[in-house]
């Protein structure tokens, strides 16, 4: 447990066990999908879910597009590999695992809605389908295959706290994490495919992991970042999956840059709710809402 997680929370009447107010085991599941091989990829996701589930993980995050691979040659290829959510077979298999381990799973998926494609994360739990997040900020050739996300920035209520989802390039846009945090998210579940972008990011200099830690610090949230490893059609992935805390530290990871790995930690969600840095400072209440609105112009009630 990090020093940040041991920070005291304000006392209140009654008895409690300090430091154990809302403990939950979380895991980033780092794996290597194979482009176009959905049977293999699904088998790998179920295998690594089993590893984490048997260790007691109650919130698991899988990489971006983990059921299909990432570098498509054409929109036709992407469309052929896509499926509807939540009716598709991949979502159904993840729901079975969520029920088996009484856990919650966020998994990257190539989603089809009619003739439209989305780079999405499906959120499932013991009682079935919970919701979907569609990537808002498309990276590079994704713009050739996918539509920009149109579901906004939903926050999902789970028994141990509130979660929001982020996908890879989203971390470079601070509005994403800030809007989720402003809506009460305690944990950001980041399904990602961090890649080598020399010289900005390499396996040895994983700036994406550092950015995730900084987003946690600036927004007082935990982040669970599940990256993939390996190479695919000339694109090299950096691994370095991690779990970061509201103090900007690494609770677990960064993981090995080349190998599948379960990155796991037990976190106290209360750490994302006690946001006072000093007697006079709280990064959330200190925001100048007289100059900008709470959600930076985002209106979750409008029709997307």
Q: Quote the longest CA-to-CA distance of the chain.
A: 61
Task: Sort 36 into a burial class: Cβ within 10 Å, 0-12 / 13-18 / 19+.
Answer: middle
Percentage of residues in the chain with pLDDT exceeding 90? 85
| Res 271: pLDDT | 84
3.30.413.10, 1.20.120.1750, 3.30.2130.10, 3.60.110.10: which CATH number matches 22-272?
3.60.110.10
- pTM for this predicted structure: 0.93
Task: Please name the residue ranges forming H helices in the chain.
Answer: 38-54, 75-81, 89-101, 142-145, 174-182, 207-219
| Res 2: pLDDT | 56
pLDDT band at 274 (very low <50, low <70, confident <90, very high): confident
Tokens 């550092």 correspond to 210
Return all residues near 256 (Cβ < 8 A) that are at least 6 apart: 30, 229, 239
Catalytic status, residue 92: no
Nearest to 32 by CA among 189, 263, 232, 268: 232
Cα separation of 117 and 114, whole Å? 8
Catalytic residue (choose from 66, 106, 165, 168): 168
Structure tokens at 121: 């994360």
| Res 13: pLDDT | 55
* 270 φ, ψ (degrees, to nearest 5): -55, -30
pLDDT band at 237 (very low <50, low <70, confident <90, very high): very high
pLDDT band at 232 (very low <50, low <70, confident <90, very high): very high
| Res 8: pLDDT | 53
Catalytic residue (choose from 25, 58, 97, 135): 135
Residues in the chain: 304
Q: What is the pLDDT of residues 88-131, one digit of tens each?
A: 999 999 999 999 999 999 999 999 999 999 999 999 999 999 99
pLDDT band at 4 (very low <50, low <70, confident <90, very high): low
Name the least confident of 31-40, 186-195, 218-227, 285-294: 285-294
Please state the domain extents for the chain: 22-272
| Res 14: pLDDT | 61
| Res 22: pLDDT | 86
Catalytic status, residue 225: no
**Is 3's pLDDT higher than 60?**
no
The predicted model gives 27-38 an average pLDDT of 98
| Res 18: pLDDT | 66
Return all residues near 222 (Cβ < 8 A) that are at least 6 apart: 26, 186, 187, 188, 216, 243, 244, 245, 246, 251, 267, 269, 271, 272
Structure tokens at 112: 């089809």
Name the least confident of 83-87, 150-154, 250-254, 291-295: 291-295
3-state secondary structure of 34: coil
Most confident option among 1-5, 259-263, 287-291: 259-263
Catalytic status, residue 203: no
Catalytic residue (choose from 25, 38, 44, 64): 64
| Res 245: pLDDT | 96
The predicted model gives 252-272 an average pLDDT of 95
**Is 174's pLDDT higher than 80?**
yes
**Is 12's pLDDT higher than 90?**
no
| Res 84: pLDDT | 98
């Amino acid at each position: 447990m990090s020093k940040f997680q041991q920070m005291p929370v304000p006392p209140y009447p009654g008895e409690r066990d300090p430091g154990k107010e809302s403990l939950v085991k979380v895991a980033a599941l780092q794996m290597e999908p194979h482009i176009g091989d959905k049977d293999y990829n699904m088998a790998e996701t179920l295998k690594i879910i089993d590893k984490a589930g048997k260790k007691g993980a109650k919130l698991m995050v899988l990489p971006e597009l983990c059921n299909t691979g990432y570098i498509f040659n054409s929109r036709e290829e992407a469309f052929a590999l896509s499926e509807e959510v939540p009716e598709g077979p991949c979502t159904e298999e993840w729901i079975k695992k969520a029920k088996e381990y009484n856990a919650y799973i966020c998994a990257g998926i190539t989603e089809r809605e009619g003739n439209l494609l989305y780079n999405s994360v499906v959120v499932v739990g013991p009682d079935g389908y919970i919701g979907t997040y569609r990537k808002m900020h498309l990276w590079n050739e994704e713009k050739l295959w996918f539509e920009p996300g149109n579901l906004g920035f939903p926050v999902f209520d789970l028994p141990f706290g509130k979660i929001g989802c982020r996908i890879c390039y989203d971390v470079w846009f601070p509005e994403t994490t800030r809007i989720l945090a402003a809506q009460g998210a305690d944990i950001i579940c980041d399904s990602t495919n961090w890649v080598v972008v020399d010289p900005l990011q390499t396996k040895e200099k994983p700036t994406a992991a550092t950015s995730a830690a900084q987003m946690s610090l600036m927004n007082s949230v935990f982040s669970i970042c599940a990256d993939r490893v390996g190479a695919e059609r000339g694109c090299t992935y950096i691994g370095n999956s991690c779990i970061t805390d509201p103090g900007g530290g690494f609770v677990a990871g960064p993981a090995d840059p080349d190998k599948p790995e379960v990155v796991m930690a037990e976190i106290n969600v209360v750490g994302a709710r006690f946001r006072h840095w000093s007697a006079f400072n709280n990064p959330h209440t200190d925001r100048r809402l007289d100059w900008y609105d709470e959600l930076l112009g985002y209106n979750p009630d409008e029709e997307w």
